[in-house]
Amino acid sequence: MRRPRPFDVLALLLLAAAGWALWGWAVREAVWAGDAAACRAAGGACWAFIGEKWRLMLFGLYPPAEQWRAALAVLLSVAFVAACVRWRRAWPLGWLGLLALDYALLAGGFLGLSAVPVAQWGGLPLTLLLTVSGVGGGLPLALLLALGRRSRLPLLRLLAGGYIELIRGVPLVSVLFMAAVMFPLLLPPGWVLGKLLSTQLALALFVAAYLAEAIRGGLQAIAYGQYEAAAALGMRHGTALATVILPQALRIALPALTGIAIGTFKDTSLVVIIGLFDLMTATRAALGDPRWLGFSLEAYLFAALVYGVLSWSLSLAGRQLEKR
Amino acid sequence: MQARSYPWRLSRGRALLLQGGVLLALLALLAWCWHNASLRLAAQGVSSGFGFLQREAGFAIAETPIAWSPADTYLRALGIGLLNTLKVSLPALLLASALGVAVGIALGAQSRLWRRLARGYVESLRNVPLLLQLFVWYGVFSALPPPRQAPQLLPGVFLSGRGLLLPAPLADLRWLWLAGAALLAVGLAWALYRRRWPLPVLLPLPPLAAVGSWWALGAPPLWSLPVLGGFNFHGGLLLSPEFAALGCGLAFYSASYIAEIVRGGIDAVPAGQREAGLALGLRRAELMRLIVLPQALRVMLPPLAGQYLSLIKNSSLAVAIGYPDLVSIANTAINQTGQAISGILLIMLAYLSVSLVVAALMAWWNRRLLQRGEA
């Protein structure tokens, strides 16, 4: 151990002061239950506001009686990530099952479950649904793009490279706007693409470009001898890709893929801009209640906690997955 | 490119067939979309194209680096949007880099306290969406006290709910004299630095030269200071709460990513380099500045370029807090004219050009660094 320096002492003092101030605001002078008037009278944080609004923030406008379905959809997504750590081969296709289950649970209309229209879906389940469809839906396209970019056929190389660079060069906000204003124009008159569906499509198209670059990195790391060995065993090109090359490439690309999944999870918050009712929009909606004006910091902290815990768990799962 | 031949061969005919098929499918999809779009646009009575750019825009813009009136064209509005994007991105880039390097060094510090603090910063900012952070920053900047109670941080620097006020340089030719004197002093300092004069003596030279020549000119007023008059400030430079929130949000968020890149770069410098520096009697700060950082920079540059690009792209979140950047102005234009396809194409074109310029600059810097290393 080395001798403490003046800077360390300074940092410790600043930290202690900040900690004391935070303790005072968040715990000592906080209001845990009561109404807005009680909160305004006290000087600290108003956790009563979160107590009043947590349902709106987490589940949006989903009917309260059916709320367990939305909660179950969230639990299923978390369980899926945990299951992927245990059964590594599950993730490339398992997301499809998860997506179908989440959809069925949220939509209902069978086995005595009442039907809930898409317009009432919201909050955390919607955020997770967008994440799963963005990453999962982007994956097949990303595989094709990565293989295309490494193809020996010049046209495929050009098309895949052009698409990847074009998408990576523009911000997600502009792609979401495109989904909102341009996708409806491209369909034949009379066809309607729901807002949720076109956003999911746009997210998948956007994320695919980033996933493709990560997979290409994995493909590039495969030793050439692997291709030769597969060919020497008499495998056809497609068989070799599916059983020898891609499993290894995906494993190498895993850290990058996890990073993109976390990024997508955070980026789904941008749907605020096109008015989809995800966790972020629901938080903003809770802030708009005229009886409870002025407690935005508490609400944002709560939302930050939800986002933070989930993306941190995702990165933890990613690290576990790499170790195995 | 590949020295060895690929184990699987595709006959020439099949290769042509495959590529032709893909091209045909893509063209068919595009043609179908084009056909549908023209049907829909005809039904809406909108003629597509870029003719609308010359029409009168008719909306107000909150922040305009160049002159603007609602009677101006859409083209000028989009230009203002692009300028606003650059105006917020460049200061945010600088702030993010400075903060990122500091936090990155702290991530590898000897003191466990500083390491923990830096790790806490990185983890808490990286795991929360940037948009949420922007809302918090915007809340902070717009909740500041009104001008009459605004605290003065430094002479001429005020924090108010209307925005951050700074002294602004006046348009005056005498600035050229000051700049010339400062440049001369920089040249002199550089020459002396080569002769191993100590930095603490050299660094004050350029500012001293500038202040000295200002004094010699008779100390003319060159700054416009913000002054409180009535209910608002006059003079000075006003940075709107939207601008300040977006700039701070982008900078602090990107700094957490840059810090990790810096730590990775520092880790990549072989330990022998530090030991050699220590053996030569360098102090810790000198070791960092002269030995470690220059070598770390080569590892850092490629990911840093990516981070800079994503900061510029992330500035499009401006639309959520009402800062008139390119995407937000283009969105207004699309809503007013119905020109969705042209508008989206213009946004993409603008960002692609900015990305290409930044990528080219970073590639040039990277090449220079690598060349210098070989010499």
ipTM: 0.89
At B62, give phi and psi (nearest 5°). -70, -35
Number of continuous H segments (helices) and E segments (strands) in chain A: 15, 0
Is residue B300 scored above 70 in pLDDT? yes
Cβ neighbours around B284 below 10 Å, total? 12
Which residue in A has a C-alpha nearest to residue B43's C-alpha? A189
Q: What is the pLDDT of residues A192-220, one digit of tens each?
A: 888 888 999 999 999 999 999 999 988 88
Is residue A5 scored above 80 in pLDDT? no
Is residue B1 scored above 50 in pLDDT? no
Q: What is the pLDDT of residues A15-41, one digit of tens each?
A: 899 999 888 888 887 778 777 777 777
The whole-number pLDDT of residue B375 equals 40
What are the tokens at B313? Answer: 């792209």
- Inter-chain Cβ pairs, chain A and chain B, closer than 8 A: 144
Is residue B2 scored above 60 in pLDDT? no
Max Cα separation, chain B?
83
Mean pLDDT, range A219-232, rounded to an integer: 85
Of A74-78, B136-140, B212-216, the range with the highest mean pLDDT is B136-140
Instruction: Tell me what percent of the residues of chain A surpass a pLDDT of 70.
Output: 97
- The answer to whether B25 faces chain A, any CB pair under 8 Å, is no
Give B128 to chain A, closest Cα distance, Å: 5
Partners of residue A266 in chain B, C-beta under 8 Å: 127-130
Element (H, E) at B64: none
- The answer to whether B23 faces chain A, any CB pair under 8 Å, is yes
How far from chain centre, in Å, is Cα B337?
30
User: Higher-confidence residue: A107 or B76?
Assistant: B76
Mean pLDDT, range B330-354, rounded to an integer: 87
CB contact under 8 A, B8 and A231: yes
Q: What is the pLDDT of residues B154-185, one digit of tens each?
A: 777 778 777 788 777 777 777 788 888 888 98
Partners of residue B319 in chain A, C-beta under 8 Å: 173, 273
The whole-number pLDDT of residue A291 equals 82
Q: What is the pLDDT of residues B252-285, one digit of tens each?
A: 999 999 999 999 999 888 989 989 998 998 887 7
In the CATH hierarchy, which top-level class contains the domain B74-168+237-342? Answer: mainly alpha
CB contact under 8 A, B36 and A188: yes
Kindly list the domain boundaries of chain B, sorted by start residue.
Answer: 74-168+237-342, 171-220
Is residue A230 scored above 50 in pLDDT? yes
Which residue in A has a C-alpha nearest to residue B39's C-alpha? A189
- Using left for φ > 0, alpha for ψ between -120 and 50, and beta otherwise, residue A111 falls in left
Work out the pLDDT band at A2, boundaries 50, 70, 90.
Answer: low
Determine if the pTM surpasses 0.95: no
Mean pLDDT, range B315-343, rounded to an integer: 88
Element (H, E) at A117: none
Is-contact B232 B264, C-beta < 8 A? Answer: no
Q: What is the pLDDT of residues A36-48, one digit of tens each?
A: 777 777 777 788 7
Domains recognised in chain A with CATH numbers: 47-323 (1.10.3720.10)
If you ran DSSP here, which 8-state letter would residue A182 be given?
A: I
CB contact under 8 A, A174 and B26: no
DSSP string computed for B114-130: HHHHHHHHHHHHHTS-H
Task: Look at A113-127, A142-156, A189-203 and tell me which has the smallest mean pLDDT.
Answer: A113-127
- The answer to whether B123 faces chain A, any CB pair under 8 Å, is yes
Is residue A92 scored above 70 in pLDDT? no
Is-contact A168 A141, C-beta < 8 A? Answer: no
The whole-number pLDDT of residue A3 equals 63
With tokens 């994956």, the residue in question is: A139
CA dist A125 and A319 (Å) reads: 24
The whole-number pLDDT of residue B373 equals 60
